[in-house]
Amino acid sequence: MNTYAQVHMHRTNLLIHLIAVPLFIAAHFGLILGIVQQKPWSALMWVGLIVVSLGMQRQGHALESQKPAPFRNGWNFMTRLYTEQFYAFPKFVLSGKFQENWLVASSQDKQTRK
């Protein structure tokens, strides 16, 4: 199975994730707030932003040479989705692995242009 870092190597995908994952997280807080405040249109807007975030990430993963393992079932989809968004990506960034992959992708881009 590919590690999280192995399926997040393409520079454009990294940039997409840098935008889309915080959007996904913020949209969940907004969704909870919309529900608590009983504002259905607000809640619906936040759900839409969650969907946009996932669509962005899907486009980013299409650029990767190594694809993530396919989901086995609905439960696997939900647990992996929330684990990756709320735990794996923040850990990836804070551990320095994001920066390592960014630099590797940068050097590969320069070699490709030569």
Residue 113 confidence (pLDDT) above 70? no
pTM: 0.88
pLDDT at 3: 87
pLDDT(106) > 80: no
Q: Which residues contact 57 (CB under 8 A, 6 or more apart)?
A: 16, 17, 20, 21, 24
For the chain, what are the domain ranges?
Answer: 5-113
